[in-house]
Structure 1
Amino acid sequence: MALNRLFASLAIGVTPSVISRKTVQVTAVRYASMPKPVKPKPGYGISYRRIVHFPEEYTVKPLEVTNLAGRDPVTGRVVAKGIGGGIKHKYHWISWVRDGPTEGPPQEEKVIQIIECGCRTSHVALVAVGDQLKYILATENMKAGDIIKTSRHLPRIPVRANEGDAYVLGALPLGTIVHCIEKTPGAGGLYIHAAGTQGTILRRQNDRIVVQMPSKRLFSFDERCMAVVGRLSNVDHGDTPIGSPQRNRWLGNRPRSGLWKRKDGRHGRKIRPPKPVKEIQARTNFPLPAVVMKMNP
């Protein structure tokens, strides 16, 4: 505040001698002793692209969204530089928990509508369960009117599941394509959400199920973890070209600075001539040195 008064007095023409030197020194020390603000870093599961305003109870009504443009909502500082602009989209709240009976026949659910969601890559399906509605991730061939099944029963013989059905991993045969796999039983689908991705059940190890992820890594899950059968929808998402810089801005991506070039920039890949040919030859036998025997050590 003292520095602000000093600058204000200079602006209106008051001489600095009016303000005491002690006030300036105390203010300078106070500013120097203040802790420096810590700039947050991207990652750690925090999204700096948008904030979704969730209500207290689950609803299928599209939710309002506040775009952050890569800034921290608390300090307003830029955290992620590549984010900015973009069209505002409504957010469809996905019900990640596919819960069904533990005994008896599976629960049947009907697909009402397939929706394109601007806040995620894969499509969304509106599903009716009894007198309730919920959103789930749509599979590749899912369409309106389909009947999908959900069950937490762990049978002795693997079941024959159709696309969109949700069963525990231990109930599915080897080689089944799955997505939306739970980390722990009852926690809700956590793995494999992106458009066109899938996992494959490879083998069983006692009460564990080994699944090959889209990254080709092998994860071992509990056999009671739920998984949805089939490949996720919007398969052509990764192969669709953006086409123009303006469409890239519609998607919420800011342009690059233009200073960095891939092939000849400061940190880019340099084009160098290939190395000379290296001759690979068989190892020649070289004579061993003569061994001289002596009587004294």
Structure 2
Amino acid sequence: MAIHLYKTSTPSTRNGAVDSQVKSNPRNNLIYGQHRCGKGRNARGIITAGHRGGGHKRLYRKIDFRRNEKDIYGRIVTIEYDPNRNAYICLIHYGDGEKRYILHPRGAIIGDTIVSGTEVPIKMGNALPLKSTSTDMPLGTAIHNIEITLGKGGQLARAAGAVAKLIAKEGKSATLKLPSGEVRLISKNCSATVGQVGNAGVNQKSLGRAGSKCWLGKRPVVRGVVMNPVDHPHGGGEGRAPIGRKKPATPWGYPALGRRSRKRNKYSDNLILRRRSK
């Protein structure tokens, strides 16, 4: 990832640092318009997810998370920017004429070949089951785009720079350490892609001004203590008043800073061996 530093010609560009290496020129048959409605509101128009709204119009890129072009080699033709995610995407031309987008594996360059199937080599960008008949994925392998349900497509470790590690195999399950620090069980028949997701240096970017953040659809973050009592439990008071509570609370009155938000008695509780680290 090439970071471009602006010259300090204006206050808005004084601290800006953006990526100037990857451009976007998507294929027409792999994109479609998407109407983003709600802006963090529910059906009643009440804000349920804050700091969302506005942003530039986007075209959604169809990403192949299933990697179901089995045993057909493909070549990386382009590496493109995707406005819908922090990770880059790359266009693959397969030998049978099929063209698809996949997440860009870190280190992959234009011209590299990839393949997916049950008997493919352990190579960056290749997709295969965690346990196959001939090719056994070794312990310690870095993987991403991991399936939870067989055939549904990758759902875990898809963000920019995300990587999971295969740490054990026993019975019908494999033990993975996810990017969040969570250790959980996954069926050995589920597929994963070898390597790490590209654009790992996305945290080095500095937008430099509030307007650039607005283009991404992210609204300002306001402290609850400066709101009115009708808007937040911390609001109200004269001047810089304290929150008036023993413990901080969320805008809906629930305990903040440490309260578990995961739904209780989920089917996957037995599959999680260690909770994620905060």
Q: Give the TM-score normalised by the residue count of structure 1.
A: 0.61
Contact 1:69 1:85 in 2 (8 A): no
Give the AA of the match of 1:63.
Answer: Y
Closer, same or farther: CA 60–73 of 1 in aligned 2, 3 Å:
farther
Aligned length: 202
1:88 aligned residue: 57
Residues 263-290 of structure 1, C-alpha deviations (whole Å, 9 max, x = no match): x76449xxxxxxxxxxxxxxxxxxxxxx
2:186 aligned residue: 221
State the alpha-carbon separation in 2 of the partners of residues 225 and 265 from structure 1: 54
Matched, 1:162 2:123: yes
State the alpha-carbon separation in 1 of the partners of residues 122 and 149 from structure 2: 21
Mapping for residues 176-187 of structure 1, pairs under 5 Å: 176-187=141-152
1:142 aligned residue: 108
Give the AA of the match of 1:95.
Answer: D
Structure with larger RCO (C-alpha < 8 A, sep 6+)? 2
Matched, 1:209 2:178: no
State the alpha-carbon separation in 2 of the partners of residues 253 and 230 from structure 1: 30
Q: CA deviation at 1:238?
A: 2.5
1:70 aligned residue: 39
Contact 1:152 1:224 in 2 (8 A): no
Name stretches of at least 5 consecutive residues in structure 1 with no aligned partner: 1-58, 154-158, 269-297
Contact 2:150 2:191 in 1 (8 A): yes
Q: Give the TM-score normalised by the residue count of structure 2.
A: 0.65
What is the aligned counterpart of 1:121 among 64, 86, 95? 86
2:266 aligned residue: none
Mapping for residues 96-107 of structure 1, pairs under 5 Å: 96-99=65-68, 101=70, 106-107=71-72
Deviates more, 1:80-89 or 1:166-175: 80-89
Mapping for residues 263-278 of structure 1, pairs under 5 Å: 266-267=242-243
**Sequence identity percentage:** 25
Contact 1:177 1:229 in 2 (8 A): yes
Task: Give the 4+ runs in structure 1 shifted more than 6 A.
Answer: none
| Structure with larger Rg | 1
Bigger share in helix? 1
